[in-house]
C-alpha cells in the first residue's frame, strides 16, 4: 500500500534521494525546501504525486502554516521526515554569535517546532510515524563540530522524550544516525574564520582532513535511503537506525566508553544518595 510522506530539506542529499526513491515506487510526497525550482523536473515527471512547498525552518509561523496546508490538501500523512539542516564547521571559539544562533535555529529549534506542528494532526489521525534525521554526531563528537553536535544531541533528547509521550496515541518515532555518507554535506558546511592558535590541535587536524578531502566517507547514500524506507515500512519501526560502518564503530565505542566510566564511578555515584532514615 502506498504512503504519503512529508519531507523537509529535499533540495539535495538524503532528502532529495528519499523523495526520488519514494516517487519511483509510487508513493506520494509533500517535499519542502527553502528555495523553489530545485524539484521542477521531478514535478514534471511525477505530477500530482509530488507537492512542493517552500519552507524556511527558522520561520516558525510560516512552518505551522505549511504543515496545516499539507494536511489540508492531502487529508492524511503517514510519515513525516524531519531532514532539513546543515553543518557548522569551526572550533567553538572561532564561531560567531550569528553562526551559533542560525545553527541552533535551523537544526534544533526548527526540528523541534516541526514535530510540535505535526503532532496535533497525527494525533487526530490516531496514527503516524516521524523520522528525525540525526547523525552519528548525536551520540559521538568530532572536533570542529561542537555546535552541530549540540543540535544533534539536543534533538535526540527531545525525540526520546516526545516518543514516550505520544506512543499511546499511535505515533512512532525513529532517530536516523548516518555516519559520513556520500552526499554534499561537506560542500554545504558553513565555516568559521580559522584562528592560528588551533592549527596544532585536534581542531586543526580535522580542518586539514576535511579541506584535503581525507576525511573518510564510508556510507553509500542510496543504500542509506533504502534502509530508511525499509525501516519505516517494517511493522515495528526501530527507535534508532545507525547507518554505515563508521557510525556503527564510533557509536559502539562511545557507548562502551561511557558505560565503562559509569561502572568505574559506581561506588561514588551510589554513595551520594540520601542516607536511609534511622
Three-state SS annotation for the chain: CCCEEEECCCCCHHHHHHHHHHHHCCCEEEEEECCCCCCHHHHHHHHHHEEEEECCCCCHHHHHHHHHHHHHHHCCCCEEEECCCCCEECCHHHCCHHHHHHHHHHHHHHHHHHHHHHHHHHHHHCCEEEEEECCHHHCCCCCCCHHHHHHHHHHHHHHHHHHHHHHHHCEEEEEEEECCECCCCCCCCEECCCCHHHCCCHHHHHHHHHHCCCCCCCECHHHHHHHHHHHHHCCCCCCEEEECHHHHHHHHHHHHHHHHHHHHCHHHHHCCCCCCCC
pLDDT tens for each residue of 109-154: 999 999 999 999 999 999 999 999 999 999 999 999 999 999 999 9
Question: How much is the pLDDT for 151?
Answer: 98
Mean pLDDT of 241-269: 96
Q: How far apart are the first and last CA of the chain?
A: 64
Which of these ranges, 21-25, 102-106, 132-136, 205-209, has the smallest mean pLDDT?
205-209
Catalytic residue among 111, 121, 152, 250: 152
Residue 75 burial by CB count (10 A; 0-12/13-18/19+): exposed, middle or buried?
Answer: exposed
Cα separation, 223 vs 27, in Å, equals: 18
Residue 278, pLDDT > 70, answer: no
268 contact partners, CB below 8 Å, separation of at least 6: none
Evaluate whether 66 touches 55 at the Cβ level (below 8 Å).
Answer: yes
- To the query of whether residue 86 is one of the catalytic residues in this protein, the response is no
pLDDT tens for each residue of 34-60: 888 889 999 999 999 999 999 999 999
Catalytic residue among 134, 135, 146, 250: 134
- To the query of whether residue 134 is one of the catalytic residues in this protein, the response is yes
Evaluate whether 143 touches 91 at the Cβ level (below 8 Å).
Answer: yes
Catalytic residue among 111, 148, 198, 250: 148
Question: How much is the pLDDT for 277?
Answer: 56
Cα separation, 131 vs 225, in Å, equals: 12
- To the query of whether residue 148 is one of the catalytic residues in this protein, the response is yes
Question: How much is the pLDDT for 216?
Answer: 79
Evaluate whether 254 touches 140 at the Cβ level (below 8 Å).
Answer: yes
Classify the C-alpha dihedral 166-154-110-82 as positive or negative.
negative
Residue 227, pLDDT > 70, answer: yes
| Domains of the chain, first to last | 4-247 (3.40.50.720)
Angle between helices 146-166 and 110-125 (to 10 degrees): 20
Categorise residue 189: left if φ over 0, alpha if ψ from -120 to 50, beta otherwise.
beta
- Band of the pLDDT at 213, cuts 50, 70, 90? confident
**Half-sphere exposure for 268 (CA within 13 Å, toward CB):** 5
Nearest one of 85, 95, 86 to 192, comparing CA atoms: 95
Mean pLDDT of 5-23: 95
Amino acid at each position: 500500500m502506498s504512503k504519503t510522506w512529508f519531507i523537509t530539506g529535499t533540495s539535495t542529499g538524503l532528502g532529495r534521494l528519499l523523495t526520488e526513491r519514494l516517487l519511483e515506487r509510487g508513493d506520494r510526497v509533500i517535499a519542502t525546501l527553502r528555495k523553489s525550482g530545485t524539484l521542477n523536473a521531478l514535478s514534471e515527471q511525477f505530477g500530482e504525486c509530488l507537492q512542493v512547498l517552500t519552507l524556511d525552518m527558522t520561520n516558525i509561523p510560516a512552518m505551522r502554516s505549511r504543515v496545516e496546508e499539507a494536511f489540508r490538501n492531502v487529508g492524511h500523512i503517514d510519515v513525516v521526515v524531519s531532514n532539513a539542516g546543515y553543518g557548522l564547521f569551526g572550533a567553538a571559539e572561532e564561531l560567531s554569535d550569528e553562526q551559533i544562533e542560525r545553527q541552533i535555529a535551523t537544526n534544533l529549534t526548527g526540528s523541534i517546532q516541526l514535530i510540535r506542528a505535526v503532532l496535533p494532526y497525527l494525533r487526530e489521525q490516531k496514527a503516524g510515524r516521524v523520522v528525525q534525521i540525526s547523525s552519528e554526531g548525536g551520540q559521538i563528537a568530532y572536533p570542529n563540530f561542537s555546535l552541530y553536535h549540540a543540535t544533534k544531541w539536543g534533538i535526540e533528547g527531545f525525540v526520546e522524550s516526545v516518543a514516550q509521550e505520544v506512543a499511546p496515541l499511535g505515533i512512532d518515532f525513529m532517530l536516523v544516525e548516518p555516519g559520513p555518507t556520500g552526499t554534499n554535506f561537506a560542500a554545504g558546511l558553513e565555516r568559521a574564520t580559522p584562528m592560528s592558535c588551533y592549527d596544532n590541535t585536534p581542531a586543526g587536524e580535522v580542518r586539514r582532513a576535511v579541506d584535503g578531502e581525507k576525511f573518510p566517507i564510508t556510507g553509500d547514500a542510496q543504500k542509506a535511503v533504502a534502509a530508511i524506507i525499509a525501516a519505516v515500512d517494517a511493522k515495528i519501526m526501530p527507535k534508532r537506525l545507525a547507518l554505515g560502518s563508521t557510525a556503527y564503530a564510533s557509536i559502539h565505542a562511545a557507548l562502551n566508553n561511557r558505560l565503562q566510566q559509569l561502572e568505574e564511578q559506581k561506588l561514588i555515584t551510589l554513595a551520594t544518595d540520601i542516607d536511609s532514615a534511622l
